[in-house]
Amino acid sequence: MGTIDRIAEPWGTRTPYGTGEPWPVRVDTRLDDGLTEADVDAWFQSATILHSNGDGLDIAVKDGRIVGVRGRATDRVNHGRLGPKDLFGYQANNSADRLTSPLVRRDGRLVETGWETAMSMVADRTEELLKERGPSSIGFYTTGQLFLEEYYTLALIAHGGIGTNHVDGNTRLCTATAAAALKESFGSDGQPGSYTDVDHADVIALYGHNVAETQTVLWSRILDRLAGPNPPRILCVDPRRTPVAEAATVHLAPRPGTNVALMNALLHEIVANDWVDHAYVDQHAVGFDELAKQVASCDVDWAAEICDVPADDLRAAARLLGQAERLLSTVLQGFYQSHQATAAAVQVNNVNLLRGMLGKPGCGILQMNGQPTAQNTRECGADGDLPGFRNWANDEQVKDLARVWNVEPAQIPHYSEPTHLMQMMRYVEDGSIRFLYVSGTNPAVSLPELGRIRDVLSQERLFLVVQDIFLSETAQLADVVLPAATWGEKTGTFTNADRTVHLSEKAVDPPGQARPDLDIFLDYARRLDLRDKDGEPLVTWSDPEGAFEGWKACSAGRPCDYSGLTYSKLRGGSGIQWPCNDEHPDGTERIYVDGEFWSAPSYCESYGKDLVTGAPVEPVEYKAMNPDGKAVIKAAEYLPPHEPPSAEFPYLLTTGRTLYHFHTRTKTGRVPQLQAAAPDVWIEMSAEDSAVHGWDEGDLLRVSTARGGVEARLRVSGIRRSTLFLPFHYGYWDTPGGSGPAERGRAANELTITDWDPCSKQPLFKSAAARVERISVADGPSRAPTTTASRPVAGASVPETRGGAAAAVLERLE
Ligand SMILES: Nc1nc2c(c(=O)[nH]1)N[C@H]1C(S)=C(S)[C@@H](COP(=O)(O)OP(=O)(O)OC[C@H]3O[C@@H](n4cnc5c(=O)[nH]c(N)nc54)[C@H](O)[C@@H]3O)O[C@H]1N2
Ligand SMILES: Nc1nc2c(c(=O)[nH]1)N[C@H]1C(S)=C(S)[C@@H](COP(=O)(O)OP(=O)(O)OC[C@H]3O[C@@H](n4cnc5c(=O)[nH]c(N)nc54)[C@H](O)[C@@H]3O)O[C@H]1N2
Ligand SMILES: [Mo]
C-alpha cells in the first residue's frame, strides 16, 4: 500500500503474472485532497466513462457531492485499477460552470429559461416540420457517452415514432468501422475476444491502436504480463513511437494511409509459408481462395515500398503472427479513420481466421471501441443500425422489430441503410434536414473541416437543439440548449469493448435544473404524443429500469441478448458479458467458440458490402456465397490515399489523442491535474525532418492543408519521417468555459478533409496532405507530455511531466 503520482506514472505499480494465471488485484483510490476513506458517507457502483475499457469503480460521496473514486477489486475488467482520466476526471462533474438551466436563443443571444418553454419550442418545431416537410426533415445526432436506456429510448422515438431514417451517433467517427468489419467477417457486430485473452496470448498484435494512452488499464494488464514469466511478444503498427511501440518485439511505422498494403503483405507471407490452419478454414469459413489470389502478388518488397517500412521488418512481423500459438489482435483508429478503413480492419480478422485462432483462451480479436458506451449506441440502433443488430435489408427482421414496438413495419424506415452522419450534414447544408437534435457530442470541434461545419450548423433555417452538460462550442451555435445530468447523477447501464455490461448508479443529484438525458427524451416523446398501432403510448416506460426491461425484450434471441440480466444481478459484483440469457445465465466470455458464426442469411445483421465501393451485397448473392453461416474471408486490393502529398503539401498529417485528455476536453480541460499535464496543442515532427528545416523543440509552427491552418509548438518526437501529428483535443475556445476564442487557431479539424471510408462511412482523420512553416523561434520547449508518444527525442531538455502531490493516488496491492 502506498501513494504514487499517477500523472508521472500513468500505469501505476507493476503486478507481474504468468501465462494463464489470474491477474493480481490492485485497488486504486483517489479522494479529494485531505479526505480519507473514513470520511466518505457512501459509495455507489459504476464504471469508467472516459474510454471504452469499462473499468469497474465506486463513486465516493460526502455531503451530497462526489469526492472521489475507487476501483472495484471484484470487477473482471480491471481488478481494481483505474487510469489517470478516471482517477481525476470526476472533478468535472463538480465544475462551477455546468449548465443548470435550459437556454433559448432570443435576438441572437442564448438566455436562460425554464423546461416548459424550452421543451415546448423543441416539440412544436418538430411537429411543424413533420406537417410541412415530413420525417426526413428531422435528424438526430447522438453519442457514445450516454447510457443504454437512453439510446434505446431515442432509437424508438426516432425510428419507430417519428419515422426518420436520419439517426446517427458520433460512433460514426469512432467505431463505425469496428462494427462494419465485424459484420463483413462474421455477419454481425459483437466482439469475438475477451480481455482475459491478454492473460493467455503469446503474441499480441496492435494495429493503429495506442492502447497505452487510450485504454490505460488494459495496457497495465499487458505490462504486467510483459513483466512476468513467459511474456507475450508484441507487434505494433503505428507511425509514431508510442509506449506500445517502445514495448514491441516488432514495430512497423508505416506511412499513414497504407494499412491495406501492409496487411496484404503480412497475409501474403502467412499464405506463402503455409501458416494456415486449413482444417479450420475449410470447416468454418468461405473465401480463402479469393484471398490467396488477391495477396499472391503482394510480397513484402512491394509493401515495403508503399508503406516505407523495411522488408525485413515486415517478414519479422509475419513470422510473429504465423508462428504464434495464441494470437490476440486489436485494432483502432489508425486503421478505422483511414480511407480503406473497413478493408484494412477486415484483413486483421482474416489473419486470425487463417490461423484458426478464435474462440479459445488467448485467441481473440478486439475490433476496439473508443467511447465508454459506443457499444450500446450500436446495439440499440441509435447510430445507423436497427436495434438488436437487426438487418434493415431483411423484411422478416424489420417485422420482428415492429412486433416488439407494436407498430406497422412500414412505420420503421428501411428503404435503405440509416443515413450516415456525413450525409446528414450534407442534408443540413442543402436544407432538406431542418431540425437537428444533438446529444452528448461536440461536432463543432470533432467533425472534419470545421470551417464548413460551423457554417452548416449556424444556418438560420436550421433549428439546432444541443443537449450537453457544458456550454460547448456546439451549444453556443444552438437555438435551444438542454442541460443534462451525467454519469454519477443518473442510473443506467453501459457496455464496454469486450461485451461487459456494467450498472452505473446515481450517486448525487444533478446541478440546478439539469435532468437525465432519459428524462429529457421521455418528455419529448410525451409532448409529441407518440403512439403505437393500437393508439397506446409508444414509449411504455418512465424510468431507467423500465427502459432496460424494454431493451431486454428487444434484444432477446439476437446476438446481443440481455434477457438474462437484471439491475439486481449487476449489483454488487463484477460486470457481466453478453449474451446473457437462459442458456448462458452468467454471461459469455467468448463467442464463436465452436466456429459457428452469427452469419446465417436469416440471422445476420448485414449481407455485407463491397469493400471498395460500399455497395450493399444483395441478399441472393449473400445466400449463394454463404448459405450455412460461416465466417467470410474477404479480400481487398490496396488503393492509395485520396490526398497524397504534393509539392505544395509535402507532409502527411495525422491526428489523435494523448493520455491525459478526452476528446474536446469539455471534462478533462476542467480537471487541474489533467489540464496541467497537457495544457496546449503541439505538433510532432521527426528529428530528421526538423533538422532539415533547422527547427528546434518549442518553435512555433503553422501547419496548413487545403482547408485551413493551425499554429502549434514543435515537439521533436519519435514519429516517422515526413509525417506530422496533431492532438485533436484543443478546440476553438482557449479554456473550456472561457469567454473568448483562443489566441491562435488550434483545432486539428480545421485541417482535416470531408471524406470517408466507402464501407463504414467513417470520416478520415488520419491522413491529410500538409505543409508546415515556422512562425517564430522557441522561447522554451512545447508543453506536450513526456510520458507518452509525445516523449521528446533523447537529449532534448524538456521538463518531465509530473503531477506532484496534487496527483497522489493510493494503490493497495492484495
Ligand atoms: N486518453 C484518451 N483515451 C481515450 C480517448 C481520448 O480522447 N483520450 N478517446 C477514446 C475514444 S472515443 C477512442 S475512439 C479511442 C481511440 O484510441 P486510439 O485509436 O488508440 O487513439 P488515436 O490516437 O486516435 O490513434 C491511435 C494511433 O493511430 C496511429 N495512426 C495514425 N495514422 C495511422 C495509420 O495510417 N496507420 C496506422 N497503423 N496507425 C496510424 C497514431 O499514431 C496513433 O498513435 O480512445 C479512447 N480512449
Ligand atoms: N481530428 C480528429 N478528430 C476526431 C478524432 C480524431 O482522432 N482526430 N476522433 C473522433 C472520435 S473517435 C470521436 S469519439 C469524436 C469525439 O467527439 P465528441 O463526441 O464531439 O467529443 P466530446 O468532447 O466527447 O463531446 C461529448 C460532449 O458531450 C457532453 N457530455 C458529456 N457527458 C454527457 C451526458 O451525460 N449527457 C449529455 N447530454 N452530454 C454529455 C460533453 O460535455 C461534450 O460536449 O471525435 C472524433 N474526431
Ligand atoms: Mo472515439
Say how far apart CA 16 and CA 809 lie, in whole Å: 20
User: Which residue's alpha carbon is at the smallest distance from atom 28 of ligand 2?
Assistant: 440
How many other C-beta atoms are found inside a 10 Å radius of the C-beta of residue 623?
14
Which H or E run contains 300? helix 300-307
Which residue's CA lies nearest to atom 13 of ligand 2?
Answer: 174
What cell was used for 743? 489566441
CA of 441 from ligand 3 middle (Å) equals 11
| The residue type at 301 | D
Q: Separation of 177 CA from ligand 3 center, angstroms?
A: 11
Is the CB of 664 inside a 6 Å radius of any atom of ligand 2? yes
Radius of gyration of the chain (CA): 25
The pLDDT value recorded for residue 384 is: 85
The ligand 1 site (C-beta within 6 Å) comprises 51-52, 85, 174, 207-210, 213-214, 237-240, 242, 254, 256-257, 259, 332-335, 338, 370-371, 654, 656-657, 659, 661-663, 766-767, 789
pLDDT score, position 510: 98
CA of 534 to the centre of ligand 3 (A): 40
| Beta-strand runs (E) in 496-590 | 500-504, 515-516, 576-577
CB 646 within 8 A of CB 368: no
Ligand 2 closest atom vs CA 171: 14
Q: Which CATH superfamily is domain 176-368+600-632 in?
A: Dimethylsulfoxide Reductase, domain 2 (3.40.228.10)
The Cα angle at residue 564 between residues 559 and 569, in degrees rounded to 5: 130
CB atoms within 10 A of CB 461: 7
CA geometry: angle 87, 91, 93, nearest 5 deg: 125
Using the Cα atoms of residue 339, residue 341, residue 346 and residue 351 in order, give the sign of their dihedral.
Answer: positive
- Ligand 2 pocket residue status of 57, Cβ below 6 Å: no
Mutate to test the pocket of ligand 2, among 663, 666, 684, 756 (most ligand atoms within 8 A of CB): 663
257 CA: nearest ligand 1 atom: 35
- Residues 396 and 410: their CA atoms lie apart, in Å, by 12
User: Distance between CA 382 and CA 379 in Å, rounded?
Assistant: 8
At residue 500 the predicted structure's pLDDT band, cuts being 50, 70 and 90, is: very high
Distance separating alpha carbons of residues 812 and 72, to the nearest angstrom: 12
Can you tell me the distance from the alpha carbon of 420 to that of 384, in angstroms, rounded to the nearest whole number? 6
Tens-place pLDDT, residues 418-439: 999 999 999 999 999 999 999 9
What nine digits make up the cell of 503?
450498472
Atom of ligand 2 lying closest to residue 482 CA: 38
- Sequence-ordered strand ranges (E) for 295-387: 327-331, 364-367
3-class state of residue 27 by DSSP: strand
Residues counted in the chain = 814
Express each pLDDT in 13-42 by its tens digit: 999 999 999 999 999 999 999 999 999 999
Q: Is 739 a residue whose pLDDT tops 70?
A: no
Whole-number Å distance, alpha carbon 744 to ligand 3 midpoint, is 25
Whose CA is closest to atom 23 on ligand 2?
Answer: 664
Cβ atoms of 480 and 466 within 8 Å: the answer is yes
CB 481 within 8 A of CB 475: yes
Of the two residues 627 and 334, the one the predictor is more confident about is: 334
For the record, the C-alpha cell of 458 comes out as 449556424
Strands 56-62 and 65-71: antiparallel
**What local confidence, expressed as pLDDT, does residue 814 receive?**
79
Distance CA 518, CA 671 (A): 26
Cβ atoms of 358 and 143 within 8 Å: the answer is no
Higher pLDDT, 732 or 485: 485
Written as nine digits, the cell of 244 is: 506500445
pLDDT of residue 114: 98
- The fourth-level CATH superfamily of domain 2-96 is ADC-like domains (2.20.25.90)
| Close Cβ partners of 474 (under 8 Å, ≥ 6 residues apart) | 438, 441, 442, 443, 444, 445, 457, 466, 468
Cis peptide before 579 (omega within 30 of 0): yes
CA 442–ligand 2 middle distance (angstroms) = 5
Pocket-testing residue among 142, 333, 442, 521, ligand 2, by greatest number of atoms within 8 A of Cβ: 442
How far is Cα 291 from Cα 485, in angstroms, rounded to an integer? 49
User: What's residue 744's pLDDT?
Assistant: 63
Q: Which residues contact 538 (CB under 8 A, 6 or more apart)?
A: 156, 157, 160, 161, 405, 407, 525, 530, 531, 532
The three grid cell numbers given for residue 678, joined into one nine-digit string: 497537457
Quick one: which of 129, 166, 616 has its CA closest to 422?
166
CB 765 near ligand 2, within 6 Å? yes
Indicate which ligand has the atom closest to the C-alpha of 497. 1
Residue of 471, 664, 705 with the most ligand 2 atoms within 8 Å of its CB, for mutation? 664
Confidence bin at 376 (pLDDT 50/70/90) = very high
CB 4 within 8 A of CB 36: no
Ligand 1 centroid distance, CA of 497 (Å):
15
Q: How much distance in Å is there from the Cα of 402 to the middle of ligand 1? A: 38
Residues linked to residue 71 through DSSP beta bridges, in sequence order: 57
Q: What is the pLDDT of residue 796?
A: 86
Using the mean position of ligand 2's atoms as its centre, give its distance from the Cα of residue 663 in Å. 5
Looking at all shown ligands, the one closest to residue 725's CA atom is 1
Residue 588, ligand 2, Cβ within 6 A: no
Determine whether the shortest distance from the Cβ of 142 to ligand 2 is under 6 A. no
Distance 332 CA to ligand 3 centre (A): 9
Ligand nearest to the CA of 662: 1
User: How far apart, in whole angstroms, are the C-alpha atoms of residue 142 and residue 152?
Assistant: 12
Q: Whose CA is nearest to atom 7 of ligand 1?
A: 662
Grid coordinates representing 361 are 483462451
Q: Quick one: pLDDT at residue 1?
A: 81
Question: β-strand 327-331 against 203-207: which pairing, if any?
Answer: parallel
- The phi and psi torsions of 403 (rounded to 5 degrees) equal -60, -45
Distance of CA 53 from the midpoint of ligand 1 (Å): 14
Distance from residue 797's CA to the centre of ligand 3 (Å): 33
798 lines ligand 2 (CB under 6 A): no
Distance in Å, CA 726 to ligand 1 centroid: 12
Asked whether the predicted pLDDT for residue 553 surpasses 70, the reply is: yes
Q: Ligand 2, residue 447: give the atom nearest the CA.
A: 47
* pLDDT-based confidence at residue 738 (cuts at 50, 70, 90): low
Reference 220, options 329, 73, 81; nearest CA is 81
Per-residue model confidence (pLDDT) at position 509 = 98
pLDDT at position 740, please?
53
d(CA 162, CA 156): 9
Among candidates 467, 506, 502, which has minimal Cα distance to 490?
A: 506
pLDDT exceeding 90 applies to what percent of the chain?
97
Q: Which amino acid residue places its CA nearest to atom 13 of ligand 1?
A: 370
CB 40 within 8 A of CB 240: no
User: Which residues are CB-contacts of 261 (< 8 A; sequence separation ≥ 6)?
Assistant: 254, 298, 302, 303, 306, 307, 638
Find out whether the beta carbon of 748 lies less than 6 Å from any atom of ligand 2.
yes
Q: Measure the CA angle with vertex 502, ends 92 and 440; round to 5°.
A: 40
| Residue-wise burial string across 82-99, b where 16 or more C-beta atoms lie within 10 A, e elsewhere | bbbbbbbbbbbbebeebb
The torsion angles phi and psi of 700, rounded to 5 degrees, stand at -85, 120
| Phi, psi (deg, nearest 5) at residue 281 | -60, -45
Cβ 440 under 6 angstroms from ligand 2 = yes
Pairing type for strands 435-439 and 138-142 reads parallel
Ligand 1 center to residue 257 CA distance, Å?
14
Cβ(470) – ligand 2 distance below 6 Å: yes
CA 506 to ligand 1 center in whole angstroms: 31
Tell me the per-residue pLDDT of 636-685, one tens digit each, with 9 for 90 and over: 999 999 999 999 999 999 999 999 999 999 999 999 999 999 999 999 99
Domain residue ranges in the chain? 2-96, 103-174+373-558, 176-368+600-632, 651-808
Q: Is 728 in the pocket of ligand 2 (CB under 6 A)?
A: yes
CB 59 within 8 A of CB 93: no
161-216 per-position pLDDT tens digit: 999 999 999 999 999 999 999 999 999 999 999 999 999 999 999 999 999 999 99
CATH of 103-174+373-558, one of 3.40.50.1820, 3.40.50.740, 3.40.50.2300, 1.10.3720.10: 3.40.50.740
Q: What angle, 0 to 180 degrees and rounded to 10, lies between the N-to-C axes of helices 341-354 and 259-272?
A: 20
Segments of 21-62 assigned E as strands: 26-31, 42-47, 56-62
Distant-in-sequence, close-in-space partners of 627: CB < 8 Å, separation ≥ 6: 601
Q: Which residue has 459509495 as its cell numbers?
A: 43
C-beta 262 within 6 A of ligand 2: no
Residue 2 exposed, middle or buried by CB count within 10 Å (0-12, 13-18, 19+):
exposed
When pLDDT is cut at 50, 70 and 90, the band that residue 784 belongs to is very high
Ligand 3 centroid–CA 659 distance in Å is: 14
Task: Decide whether any atom of ligand 2 lies within 6 Å of the 137 Cβ.
Answer: no
pLDDT for 151 equals: 98
- Ligand nearest to the backbone CA of 54: 1
pLDDT of residue 742: 59
The cell for 511 is: 446541478
Mutating to test ligand 1, I would choose from 210, 241, 725 the residue with most ligand atoms within 8 A of its C-beta, which is 210
85 alpha carbon – ligand 2 mean position (Å): 15
Burial 126-143 (b: 16+ CB within 10 A, else e): beebbeeeebbbbbbbbb
Q: Ligand 1: which residue has its CA nearest to atom 14?
A: 370
Dist. CA 718 → ligand 3 center (Å): 24
CA 390 to chain centre: 21
| 209 in Cβ contact with 46 (< 8 Å) | no
Q: How many CA atoms lie within 13 A of 323 on its CB side?
A: 10
- Whole-angstrom distance, CA of residue 215 vs CA of residue 795: 29
* Atom of ligand 1 lying closest to residue 374 CA: 12
The chain-wide mean pLDDT, for the chain, equals: 96
What φ, ψ does residue 58 adopt, rounded to 5°? -115, 140
Cβ(380)–Cβ(171) under 8 Å?
no
Q: How far apart are CA 782 and CA 772, in angstroms?
A: 16
Q: How far apart are the first and last CA of the chain?
A: 9
- Report how far ligand 2's centroid is from the alpha carbon of 452 (Å): 18
Pocket test for ligand 1, best of 143, 171, 173, 333 (most atoms within 8 A of CB): 333
Work out the percent of the chain whose per-residue pLDDT is above 70. 98
CA-proximal residue: ligand 2, atom 4 (nearest): 446
The class (CATH top level) of 651-808 is mainly beta
CA 566 to ligand 1 centroid distance, Å: 34
